[in-house]
Amino acid sequence: MRLEGLTVALRPRTAWEATDLGFALVRRHAGRIWGAWLLVTLPVLLLLNGLCLLLGQVWLAGLLLWWLKPVFDRVPLYILSRAVFGAAPGVAEAARAQLRWGWRSMFAWLTWRRLHPCRSLLLPVDLLEGLSGARRRERVRVLQRSTSGTAALTLLLAVNMELMLNFSIVLLGLMFVPVEFMSDAAKAVWDNLIQEPPLWAKLLFNLIAWLAMSLMEPFYVGAGFGQYLNRRTQLEAWDVELAFRRLAQRLSATAAVLALAVLAAFAPAPAWAEDPPGAEQLLEELAKAGAQDSSKDRIGGMAAERAEQDLADAPPRSLRRVFGGQYQPDGEAFEAAAKKAYADGDLNPRTTQVVWEPRERDPARFDAKPPALQWLKPLGNGLAFLFENALWILLAVLVVLLIRYHRYWLPWVSDRFERERQPDPVQVHDLDLPEQLPDDLPAAVRALWREGRQRAALALFYRAAVQRLDEALGLPLPPGATEAECLRRARRLDDGDYAKLFTRIVRAWQSAAYARRLPEPAELEALLAAWSAPRGAA
């Protein structure tokens, strides 16, 4: 990936801000996305309806079209993933690429992963990174750590929007029915499209479902791609890397400017013109550049003052020469015309209307209700049955998801209710440290320091500090907690002295572990002395 070719501003965003970024990308490349989408999905729609029509099961075409969504999602993802790095493909190129791009992972997305709630977030892992096996599982686990909830809510919003579009397109036809025929038209729609739909109605339903999917699916894929980009930026610090690259470019450009300045210092001074250009010439140049209103900003120094003085004394023919036939001199006639225009009723529509209302209204007249439409009763019963069963199905899906992903949410719940659980030991690899902390920690740290194992001494000190933090909070840290998470938890301590001491210990460990900068022996002794001091006297 060429980070210097990015067309979006990289910075850590919230998950919903990243979703808005994905929507903006889809809007920017809307022509390419929907052009390629039509070239890919419209033939599939016609082919499925033709085959299912031969089988006599036209409804199956709509179901298959919905099931093939992961295959169609490759179209907007292909365009967005390349456009974000400054190489947006054309409509024909994107359509041709679907014949060979991303098919390796489609079997999984059309079988056991088809109903995954985070499809838009995880599709880039398979289609753009090409990971599989343990590497893919680890990547998915890291990506979902703080974004899975937003991705699932995005799917829920997209499904609701698609259903709303389906109903809206059906009801759009009723908007053109005159009011006096509304009852008969609604009954005809119910009989023909719901109870016993003919063949043309079934085909129409499939077309409407395709239209709703075509309008909503690219936005759903764009939202997931924006969340994916934001998560990669958070994990891999793309914004920091790009900032350093731009800083290097600016430094190189500054060096070139300094070199030119040094050469110019030894070059002979140019001979300036005796007389600056006149006002008419300056105004003509400004008119060509489209900057008549900013003449004082563009003409510098003494030339600006002379141009203003010359302009004050210039005859009207000079201004007419610059502005052409659009020039009109201001004066009393202009002001009078402006006042007359503002006095026009179209520009200042203010009217006073007096309405007579009776003091006592007739309740029978204003509260009368129209007679109930009997044919709406079956419609209400049908909708009630549909939504009731949909809620039960949703509850069953929720229970299945809770059981399926219990290993993710069960530890999170247990960490908040099992206060008496022993904290997990802090793991520091490749340092050959004892599993249990020594009774005399300062002596053990000093011994490791004298043996020349300074990094191991600081790791042992950091491990003991984290364990004391767990005991003070009564809430063990999750496995694999980073130093930043430990520092955030330390802010909850009522003991402000130990929170400051813990911050100093963490900074000393980070300097040694990541920057290979060991603290001075005197600084280490000060930390050990504060550690051994009584609580509250650090």
Tell me: the pLDDT tens digits for 425-471? 444 444 556 667 787 888 888 888 888 888 888 888 888 888 888 88
Q: Give the pLDDT confidence score for residue 217 in this predicted structure.
A: 93
- What is the percentage of the chain residues whose pLDDT exceeds 90? 17
- 232 and 183 together in one domain: yes
**Least confident span in 111-125, 169-183, 479-493:** 169-183
Q: Give the pLDDT confidence score for residue 177 in this predicted structure.
A: 65
Q: Give the pLDDT confidence score for residue 222 in this predicted structure.
A: 93
Assess whether pLDDT exceeds 60 at residue 142. Answer: yes
Q: Give the pLDDT confidence score for residue 474 in this predicted structure.
A: 75
- 140 and 228 together in one domain: yes
For the segment 217-231, the average pLDDT, to the nearest whole number, is 91
DSSP-based three-state secondary structure for 419: coil
- 102 and 205 together in one domain: yes
Q: Give the pLDDT confidence score for residue 79 in this predicted structure.
A: 92
- 29 and 82 together in one domain: yes
Q: Give the pLDDT confidence score for residue 523 in this predicted structure.
A: 86
Which of 210, 239, 268 terminates a domain? The answer is 239
For the segment 100-126, the average pLDDT, to the nearest whole number, is 90
CB 218 within 8 A of CB 161: no
pLDDT tens digit string along 344-401? 766 666 777 888 877 776 655 544 445 555 666 777 777 888 888 888 999 999 999 8
- 149 and 209 together in one domain: yes
**pLDDT: which is higher, 501 or 328:** 501
Which of 288, 303, 330 terminates a domain? The answer is 330
Note whether residue 336 is domain-resident.
no
∠ Cα 472 476 480 (to 5°): 130
Q: Give the pLDDT confidence score for residue 78 in this predicted structure.
A: 92
Assess whether pLDDT exceeds 70 at residue 242. Answer: no
Assess whether pLDDT exceeds 70 at residue 223. Answer: yes
Instruction: Quickly state the pLDDT bin for 518 (edges 50, 70, 90).
Output: confident
Return the top range by mean pLDDT from 138-152, 312-326, 414-428.
138-152
Q: Give the pLDDT confidence score for residue 46 in this predicted structure.
A: 93
CB 446 within 8 A of CB 529: no
Considering the chain, what is the average pLDDT of its residues? Answer: 75
Note whether residue 126 is domain-resident.
yes
CB 190 within 8 A of CB 375: yes
Q: How many domains does the chain have?
A: 3
- Least Cα distance to 31 among 83, 101, 74, 99 occurs for 83
Q: How many CB atoms neighbour CB 506 within 10 A?
A: 19
Q: Give the pLDDT confidence score for residue 170 in this predicted structure.
A: 77
- 219 and 309 together in one domain: no
Note whether residue 87 is domain-resident.
yes
Which of 239, 256, 288 terminates a domain? The answer is 239
CB 224 within 8 A of CB 154: yes
Distance of CA 138 to the CA centre of its chain: 23
**pLDDT: which is higher, 74 or 383:** 74
Cα separation, 484 vs 481, in Å, equals: 8
**pLDDT: which is higher, 135 or 291:** 135
Assess whether pLDDT exceeds 70 at residue 248. Answer: no
Note whether residue 358 is domain-resident.
no
Note whether residue 406 is domain-resident.
no
Instruction: Quickly state the pLDDT bin for 340 (edges 50, 70, 90).
Output: confident
Residue 186: partners with Cβ closer than 8 Å, 6 or more residues away: 174, 375
- Least Cα distance to 408 among 223, 152, 228 occurs for 152
- 75 and 220 together in one domain: yes
**pLDDT: which is higher, 380 or 532:** 532
Note whether residue 141 is domain-resident.
yes
CB 492 within 8 A of CB 466: no
Cα separation, 98 vs 92, in Å, equals: 10
Instruction: Quickly state the pLDDT bin for 198 (edges 50, 70, 90).
Output: confident
- 103 and 206 together in one domain: yes
Instruction: Quickly state the pLDDT bin for 472 (edges 50, 70, 90).
Output: confident
- 101 and 153 together in one domain: yes
Note whether residue 303 is domain-resident.
yes
Length of the chain as a residue count:
538
Q: Give the pLDDT confidence score for residue 75 in this predicted structure.
A: 92
Residue 115: partners with Cβ closer than 8 Å, 6 or more residues away: none
Instruction: Quickly state the pLDDT bin for 423 (edges 50, 70, 90).
Output: very low
Domain around 476: 441-532
Q: Give the pLDDT confidence score for residue 537 in this predicted structure.
A: 42
Assess whether pLDDT exceeds 70 at residue 13. Answer: yes
For the segment 6-32, the average pLDDT, to the nearest whole number, is 85
* Residue 347 main-chain phi, psi, to 5 deg: -85, -20
**pLDDT: which is higher, 357 or 265:** 357
Assess whether pLDDT exceeds 90 at residue 39. Answer: yes
Note whether residue 319 is domain-resident.
yes
- 51 and 110 together in one domain: yes
- 78 and 213 together in one domain: yes
Position 127, amino acid: L
**pLDDT: which is higher, 493 or 157:** 157
- Specify the DSSP class assigned to residue 177: S
- 170 and 28 together in one domain: yes
